[in-house]
């Protein structure tokens, strides 16, 4: 059985963690979304039948364990140092190199910065992940814990706000506003069958423009075909699929974006059925039939897809 697939691109409270540790490099290249927009973690499965303690999905679309493109060393500097007990420096998290904002992995960092607030309560990036990614100014070296700290700059009315981020602090990272919203819609709408509410939120997010990429949109991309189908809106589900499959190049082993999306769509359906306690045999039968139906919409060769899936089980 596959290891936990992050349930729904999507809900990652405390479970949106990576196990990767090491020295930060330049930001990893992001995959392209259906509109050619960067989507952090786009190569990862958005669904995972494993739920977090909050009742939401485990790791939504963030990097998978051991696959952080910006980390490569097997150990953190901090792992080689004796643990200290010094009190934390003054100031809020993110205010200095030795008082960084704890996040988990590159995607977690981009999301945290995308949700950053100014003194007047405004959010300049309003949850847009590419904006958070572009705000990175580089790293400022290791802090007292031996973690390499990244510096981000957010344009605020009072002037540029510098945010120091520790992307290796998975054990201390807290859910951002976007993560909390995503968890809420996954847990309280999609998984419990309130698909009208879920799809309404997704259509609203989609309407905000093709250049915007938020965690909510990442959740919606693979889950909406299931949410619409559950409401009896098969034509609308097909239209959604056609739009986003059509935004990817013909799939090949070197360019598998469409296969990745197709897999995630099927996993969203399976995640819901697992939550509904459907028998494994029933889920397999439905998946086979839905896959055949959706393959026609997405112009996917199922035999080629299955071969790729076998070679890429994670």
**pLDDT value at 60 more than 50:** no
Question: What integer pLDDT is reported at residue 88 of this predicted model?
Answer: 63
| Higher-confidence position of 157 and 67 | 157
User: Mean pLDDT across the stretch 132-161?
Assistant: 95
How many Å from the N-terminal Cα to the C-terminal Cα in the chain? 11
Highest mean pLDDT among 29-33, 62-66, 92-96, 248-252: 248-252
Question: What integer pLDDT is reported at residue 314 of this predicted model?
Answer: 73
**pLDDT value at 31 more than 70:** no
Question: What integer pLDDT is reported at residue 170 of this predicted model?
Answer: 94
Residue spans of the domains in the chain: they are 74-172, 177-311
Task: State the chain's mean pLDDT as an integer.
Answer: 79
Q: What is the pLDDT of residues 213-236, one digit of tens each?
A: 999 999 999 999 999 999 999 999
Question: What integer pLDDT is reported at residue 87 of this predicted model?
Answer: 63
User: Mean pLDDT across the stretch 263-287?
Assistant: 97
Maximum alpha-carbon separation in the chain? 61
**pLDDT value at 80 more than 60:** no
Q: What is the pLDDT of residues 88-124, one digit of tens each?
A: 667 789 999 999 999 999 999 999 999 999 999 999 9
Q: pLDDT-derived band of residue 39, with 50, 70 and 90 as boundaries? A: very low
User: Mean pLDDT across the stretch 40-61?
Assistant: 35
Question: What integer pLDDT is reported at residue 91 of this predicted model?
Answer: 78
């Amino acid at each position: 059985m596959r290891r936990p697939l992050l349930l729904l691109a999507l809900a990652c409270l405390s479970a949106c963690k990576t196990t990767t540790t090491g020295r930060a490099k330049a930001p990893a290249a992001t995959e392209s979304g259906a509109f050619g927009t960067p989507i952090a973690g786009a190569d990862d499965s958005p669904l995972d039948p494993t739920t977090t303690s909050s009742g939401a999905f485990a790791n939504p679309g963030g990097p998978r364990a051991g696959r952080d493109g910006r980390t490569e060393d097997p150990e953190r500097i901090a792992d080689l140092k004796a643990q200290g007990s010094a009190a934390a420096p003054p100031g809020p998290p993110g205010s200095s190199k030795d008082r960084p904002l704890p996040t988990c992995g590159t995607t977690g960092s981009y999301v945290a910065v995308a949700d950053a607030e100014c003194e007047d309560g405004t959010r300049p990036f309003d949850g847009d992940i590419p904006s958070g990614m572009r705000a990175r100014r580089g790293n400022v070296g290791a802090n007292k814990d031996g973690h390499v700290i990244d510096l981000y700059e957010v344009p605020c009315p009072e002037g540029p706000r510098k945010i120091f981020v520790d992307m290796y602090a998975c054990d201390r990272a807290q859910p951002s506003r976007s993560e909390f919203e995503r968890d809420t819609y996954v847990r309280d709408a999609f998984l419990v069958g309130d698909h009208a509410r879920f799809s309404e939120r997704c259509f609203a997010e989609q309407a905000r423009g093709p250049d915007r990429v938020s965690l909510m949109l990442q959740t919606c991309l693979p889950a909406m075909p299931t949410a619409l189908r559950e409401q009896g809106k098969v034509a609308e589900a097909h239209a959604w699929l056609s739009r986003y499959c059509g935004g990817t190049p013909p799939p090949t082993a070197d360019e598998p974006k469409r296969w990745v999306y197709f897999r995630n769509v099927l996993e969203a359906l399976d995640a819901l059925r697992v939550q509904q306690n459907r028998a494994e045999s029933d889920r397999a039968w439905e998946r086979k039939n839905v896959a055949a139906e959706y393959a026609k919409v997405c112009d996917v060769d199922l035999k080629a897809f299955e071969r790729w899936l076998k070679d890429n089980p994670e």
